[in-house]
Amino acid sequence: MEHIVVVGSGDGGTFTANLLASELGKEIRDGLVSLQLVGEHLEHPFQPGNLDIAFKGAAPRKYLRDESRLLRKGVEFLHDPAALIDFRQRMVSTKGGKILPFDHLVIATGAVADPTIIPGLAQGALNFHTGPEDSSKIWKALQDFKEGTVVVAIASAPHKCPPSPNEAAFMLDEFFRKKGIREKVRIRFLTPYPRAYPAERVSEVVAPMFDEKGIEVTTFFNVDKVDPEHKKITSMEGESFDYDLLIAIPPHHGADVVVRSGIGDSDGYVPTDKGTMKVLGQPGVYAIGDATNIPVSKSGVVAHLQSVVVAHNIVNEARGTHDELAYNGRINCPMEVGAHRAIFVSATYASPPEDQSPSTIKYIEKRSFAMIYWRALNGSLERVFDMFFGPTRFPVEELQEAKTA
Amino acid sequence: MDCRGSFCPGPITELFKAYRSAQLGDVIELWATDPAAKADIAAWAQKSGNELQNVSEEQGYVRILVKVTKKRS
């Protein structure tokens, strides 16, 4: 019997397990393949929903579903967090004491937003990256906010969902305008990057909109510390700003199990081939989504597109066929900019993001995705996504041909 | 820091990581293929008061040396 283990039941892990169950259903039923999904949580969040919870007052439970109800038949879900991943012994051990040998492994353990890394940040700032309940604290704080300075700060890079800090600033602006107190509120946006959005062409769209809305941008601001008592945020570069409400995107690192297992880089991200998604030097082992060290957005769309590649390649390995695929670096991150308009930050490894105009159609696309996310996780919408995203993967032979050309 | 093949914000993110753990007087050496890296890092050095020590064009990439001359902690 071939043993497939998927570690992590977020977007990438759940979707990969479902794709494998769909493709290998007969083998699983015949007892030729086992498919185990190891997860820490019984409930599955739609993480982009945190913005709606924080800035539009959506209920924290609106974007949660039972994990077990999202899984296809054939996936054995173990609600028992992974304790150790052992490449040498080719097995995963769980905190509950189970030992899971694997022939094929998918590491989908995500990234951890950790406010405790920067002095004062956990005490002085709210954030929408550590879950729905923490996001709802922002909404509560906004209800009592009458006047003063709101600072949105990116504590350090990389972080999940690159457009989300900009979206937060746009949504704050809209919130205070609707409340009729925008002229009493100063919104500051502090970023470590050289411009309002890291990709230049996107920044050319975002920066003028920030100007127009009176959102003040300070670039090259790497957060060094926060003084909660005096409500002051200071950068490593030596600048300081006072705030009345601080919303900060915490620093991120790889999952504890990756760090504990000694299989990550210095930040706990798994060294991974950016095309095949294979963990470097480990046959039959893949990593996807936020867990990897590859230079691409940490976002659900990326995890989703990489899952398609990885599931295909594992089926390929299990059946001994030879049509391996590679991911082309496609990203497609929506950014809501207020007034029911949005843009999409779209690119591949070979083509950087293009500039574009905000539109209501893009806003509707973004909102529609929130509605179809749960269905998308079982793989039944892949034909629609293939049409929407265009090329996202290619035969690995093309990669080899390009290297030898 | 070898950032070849990584586009914005890759190279400057790697620079910030090194800067966070650097001491005054350290020199950070960064290799990049991203055409924006040179200008972005020069702008950061100027704003933060650190020294852009040297920029050299190598075969297919740019080699950038930044001396850490200012840092809060």
A131 & A272 share domain: no
User: Based on the domain organization, do A354 and A381 belong to the same domain?
Assistant: yes
Q: Find the closest chain B residue to A223 by CA distance.
A: B20
Residues A105 and A159 in one domain: no
Q: How far apart, in whole angstroms, are the C-alpha atoms of residue A207 and residue A75?
A: 46
Same domain, A329 and A263: yes
Note whether A295 contacts B43, CB cutoff 8 Å. Answer: no
- Cross-chain CB nearest to A157 (options B5, B13, B36): B13
Do A121 and A68 belong together in one domain? no
- A4 phi-psi bin (left φ>0, alpha ψ -120 to 50, beta other): beta
Average pLDDT over residues A157-169: 94
Q: In the annotation, is B8 catalytic? A: yes
Q: Sketch out chain B's domains with CATH numbers.
A: 2-67 (3.30.110.40)
Task: Measure in Å the smallest separation between the Cα of A200 and chain B Cα atoms.
Answer: 8
d(CA A203, CA A189): 13
Model confidence at A88: pLDDT above 60: yes
Nearest to A81 by CA among A93, A70, A91: A93
* Whole-number pLDDT of residue B60: 84
- For position A154, which CATH number holds? 3.50.50.60
Q: Judge: B47–A352 Cβ closer than 8 Å, yes or no.
A: no
Domain end (from A222, A251, A280): A251
Cβ-based burial of A12 (10 A; exposed 0-12, middle 13-18, buried ≥19)? buried
Peptide bond preceding A251 in cis form (omega within 30 of 0): no
Q: What share of residues in chain B are helix, strand, coil (percent, to 5)?
A: 35, 30, 40
Interface of A to B at Cβ within 8 Å reads: 156-158, 192-194, 198-200, 219-220, 222, 224-225, 234-238, 267, 295, 352
Q: How far apart are the first and last CA of chain B?
A: 21
Q: What residue has token string 């050309």? A: A405
- Asked whether the beta carbons of residue B72 and residue A224 sit closer than 8 angstroms, the reply is yes
- Cα–Cα distance measured from residue B27 to residue B67, given in angstroms and rounded to the nearest whole number: 4
Task: Kindly report, residue by residue over A219-235, the tens digit of the pLDDT.
Answer: 999 999 999 999 999 99
**pLDDT tens by residue, A350-365:** 887 877 889 999 999 9
Per the rule left: phi > 0, alpha: psi between -120 and 50, beta: everything else, B52 is beta
How would you classify residue A390: left for phi > 0, otherwise alpha for psi between -120 and 50, otherwise beta? left
Chosen for mutation from A166, A222, A298 (greatest number of chain B CBs closer than 10 Å) is A222
Average pLDDT over residues A388-400: 85
Kindly indicate the confidence band of residue A114, based on its pLDDT and cuts at 50, 70 and 90.
Answer: very high
> Average per-residue pLDDT in chain A?
94
Q: Do B71 and A236 touch (CB under 8 A)?
A: yes
Which of B10, B12, B20 is closest, CB to CB, to A194?
B12
Whether the model pTM is above 0.80: yes
DSSP designation for A300: H
| Partner-chain contact B43 A156, CB within 8 Å | no
What is the average per-residue pLDDT within A371-385? 92
Whether residues A261 and A399 fall in one domain: yes
pLDDT given at position A351: 81
Cβ-based contacts of B66 with chain A (< 8 Å): none
Task: Mark whether A247 and A278 lie in a shared domain.
Answer: no
pLDDT at A59: 97
| Residue contact B73–A225, C-beta within 8 A | yes
Report yes or no for ipTM above 0.90. Answer: no
* Residue whose entry in the numeric block shows the structure tokens 């200008």: B39
> What is the least distance, in Å, from the CA of B64 to any CA of chain A?
17
How far away is chain B from the Cα of A54, in angstroms, using its nearest Cα?
A: 27
Are A327 and A365 members of one domain? yes
- Chosen domain end from A221, A251, A281: A251
Which stretches within A227-359 are classed as H helix? 256-261, 300-319
Q: How far is A77 from chain B (nearest CA, A)?
A: 36
Q: Select which of B7, B8, B27, B35 is catalytic.
A: B8
Residues A288 and A359 in one domain: yes
pLDDT band at A296 (very low <50, low <70, confident <90, very high): confident
Look at A200 and B19 and tell me if their CB atoms are within 8 Å.
no
Examine the pLDDT at B26 and tell me if it is beyond 80. Answer: yes
Range of the domain at A50: 2-110+255-404
Q: Which residues are registered as beta bridge partners of A3? A: A34
Query: CA of B70: which chain A residue's CA is closest?
Result: A237
Residues of A in contact with B72 (CB under 8 A): 224, 234-238
Residue A166 sits in the same domain as residue A229: yes
Per-residue model confidence (pLDDT) at position A400: 66
Chain A contact set for B7 (CB, 8 A) = 295, 352
CA distance, residue A157 to nearest chain B CA (Å):
6
Q: A270: which DSSP letter?
A: B
Give the model's pLDDT for residue A370.
Answer: 85
CA dihedral A275, A281, A287, A288 (to 10 degrees): -20
- Which residues are paired to A112 by β-bridges? A253
Q: Which two tokens stand for residue A278?
A: 């294979």
Q: List chain B residues with CB under 8 Å of A352.
A: 7-8
A163 and A240 housed in the same domain? yes
Query: What residues of B are in contact with residue A194 (Cβ under 8 Å)?
Result: 12, 40, 43-44
- b/e code A331-342 from CB counts within 10 Å (16+ = b): bbbbbbbbeebb
The one-letter amino acid code at A14 reads T
A158 vs B contacts (CB less than 8 Å): 9, 13
Q: Are residues A270 and A393 in the same domain?
A: yes
Domain limit, last residue, from A251, A279, A305: A251
| Total number of domains in chain A | 2
A405 pLDDT exceeds 60? no
